[in-house]
Amino acid sequence: MYQPQLISDPDKITSEWLTEVLNANNMNGTVDSFTAESIGTGQVGENVRFTLTGSGDIPQTVVGKFPSPDPVSRATGIQLQNYEREVHFYKHYQQRVEIQTPNVLFTEIDNDTHDFIILMEDLAPGVQGDQLAGCDGSDAELALVQLAQLQGPLWGDNSIIDGHIIKDASNEPDVTSDLYNSLMPGFLDRYQNRLNDQEIEMVKLVGESMPRYRDAPKIERTMIHIDYRLDNMMFGGPYPLAVVDWQSYTYGCGLNDASYFMGTSMRPDERAQHDEVLLKKYYDTLQGYDVDLSWEDCWYYYRFFAPAGLIMAVIASMIVGETDRGNDMFMVMAKGSARMSRELDAIGAIQGQ
């Protein structure tokens, strides 16, 4: 089957190339011209909306995802296999899970240069979740049900471990622990004036607990998104909720994603009031799949992974290009996750209490 060529620079996209891609997806028409604008708030990739003019069966808009133009962020994306992993997800796993994702028209990557493109349907007029504002209970429920629809189909399926994109973390060096503790001083130095004493204490307690945090989970693992938060979600438009940004997924404990989302994305006061009810929605949806998980274990590991958002904030803030919005976002994540960790006694759960 004919495949359009890989173009990884949005400035090099042409009307002819867009026509080829659309025709390869059974859209009979011609793109005569287009305009392009950057959208979204990605730290590692660049998203561009193409507004098309032409004839026949062509959409009004499509969205392309490309490598970050920032050299620091691009180097991070390459080092962490973010670009390679996301293309791999859309090629091999999108059809195996039931979470709502955008329809992809074309994706390819050069494994030597890590140039890549993902051209997909435009989710407009859907609205990107607002990480800084947080969400309420109704949006959180949508997100947790979708999360269970990602994890349920592959729960306990270790055949997805391929040793390259998805590795068995239990056989890998404890890189996260070392990375967290090496970057923590820089994080505290940069943000010390934006963190209160309790938050700074939690940053340090999590660092001390990192070895047990990595090794303790005993429940069956599944595919997890890793960066499951509002900035990576589109609400409304073609779907009630669609999840994007598949640059970090791996094989791990499903409650990591659930805790990460609630600690980083739900308004803290509402999260504290509705934790248990919302997590039960996630749990009940999982029970529709072949999942052996008790409610007691579900709640325990929800507490256990409460620091997930704090860990991401400490590490990611230090290895991507610094921006004002990025700093604000990392503070929201760190503060929400630190409060959740304190209120649910995450350190106690990590220590087996």
Mind listing the pLDDT tens digit for each residue in 226-267?
999 999 999 999 999 999 999 999 999 999 999 999 999 999
Contact status, residue 330 vs residue 313, Cβ threshold 8 Å: yes
Please report the pLDDT score of residue 262 as a whole number: 98
Question: Which residue among 79, 96, 121 closes a domain?
Answer: 121
Closest CA to 180 of 160, 209, 158, 159: 209
Q: CA-CA distance, 84 to 164, in Å (whole number)?
A: 10
Please report the pLDDT score of residue 41 as a whole number: 63
Residues paired with 108 in a beta bridge: 117
- On whether residue 5 sits in a domain, the answer given is no
Alpha-carbon separation of residue 202 from 55, 91, 212, 340 (angstroms):
58, 39, 15, 10
pLDDT tens-digit map of 193-228: 999 999 999 999 999 999 899 877 788 999 999 999
Place of tokens 């995450």: 346
Q: CA-CA distance, 242 to 236, in Å (whole number)?
A: 8
351: its two tokens: 């220590």
Mean model confidence pLDDT for the chain: 93
In a shared domain, residues 134 and 259: yes
pLDDT tens-digit map of 57-94: 999 999 999 999 888 889 888 988 999 999 999 999 99
Closest CA to 229 of 217, 241, 215: 241
Alpha-carbon separation of residue 72 from 85, 190, 320, 322, 327 (angstroms):
18, 18, 6, 9, 16
Q: How far is CA 117 from the centre of its chain?
A: 18
Radius of gyration for the alpha carbons in the chain, expressed in angstroms and rounded: 20
Q: Which residue has the higher pLDDT, 45 or 95?
A: 95
> What does the DSSP 8-state code read for residue 231?
G
- On whether residue 167 sits in a domain, the answer given is yes
* Residue 45 pLDDT level (bands cut at 50, 70, 90): confident
In a shared domain, residues 208 and 90: no
In a shared domain, residues 148 and 114: no
Mean pLDDT of 299-303: 97
In a shared domain, residues 148 and 41: no
In a shared domain, residues 204 and 259: yes
Alpha-carbon separation of residue 107 from 190, 244, 332 (angstroms):
37, 14, 32
Amino acid at position 72, single letter:
V
Tell me the H-state helices in 232-307.
254-265, 268-286, 295-304
- On whether residue 117 sits in a domain, the answer given is yes
Mean pLDDT of 298-314: 97
In a shared domain, residues 222 and 258: yes
* 277 half-sphere exposure, CB direction, 13 A CA radius: 10
Please report the pLDDT score of residue 215 as a whole number: 77
> Residue 31 belongs to a domain with what CATH number?
3.30.200.20
* Residue 56 pLDDT level (bands cut at 50, 70, 90): very high
Check pLDDT > 90 for residue 42. no
Domain housing 249: 127-350
- On whether residue 3 sits in a domain, the answer given is no
* Residue 2 pLDDT level (bands cut at 50, 70, 90): low
- On whether residue 20 sits in a domain, the answer given is yes
Please report the pLDDT score of residue 155 as a whole number: 97
Question: Which residue among 88, 121, 154 closes a domain?
Answer: 121
pLDDT tens-digit map of 120-178: 999 999 999 999 999 999 999 999 999 999 999 999 999 999 888 998 766 666 788 99
106: its two tokens: 């074309």
Please report the pLDDT score of residue 3 as a whole number: 76
Question: Which residue among 121, 137, 162 closes a domain?
Answer: 121
Contact status, residue 219 vs residue 297, Cβ threshold 8 Å: yes
203: its two tokens: 């940053």
154: its two tokens: 């592959």
303: its two tokens: 């507490």
Closest CA to 311 of 277, 264, 253: 264
In a shared domain, residues 112 and 68: yes
Closest CA to 265 of 237, 218, 297, 228: 228
In a shared domain, residues 115 and 131: no
Contact status, residue 306 vs residue 341, Cβ threshold 8 Å: yes
Q: CA-CA distance, 63 to 104, in Å (whole number)?
A: 10
- On whether residue 220 sits in a domain, the answer given is yes
In a shared domain, residues 276 and 164: yes
Mean pLDDT of 95-105: 97
> Residue 269 belongs to a domain with what CATH number?
3.90.1200
In a shared domain, residues 96 and 189: no
Q: Is the omega angle on the peptide bond into residue 10 within 30 degrees of 0, that is, cis?
A: no
Mean pLDDT of 100-107: 97
Check pLDDT > 80 for residue 7. yes
289: its two tokens: 């799949």
In a shared domain, residues 284 and 169: yes
Check pLDDT > 60 for residue 1. no
Structural domain count of the chain: 2
- On whether residue 319 sits in a domain, the answer given is yes
Q: CA-CA distance, 330 to 314, in Å (whole number)?
A: 8
Q: Which residue has the higher pLDDT, 44 or 51?
A: 51
Q: Mean pLDDT check: name the lowest of 37-51, 134-148, 289-303, 325-339.
A: 37-51
pTM over 0.85: yes
In a shared domain, residues 44 and 177: no
Please report the pLDDT score of residue 352 as a whole number: 85
- On whether residue 1 sits in a domain, the answer given is no
Please report the pLDDT score of residue 170 as a whole number: 64
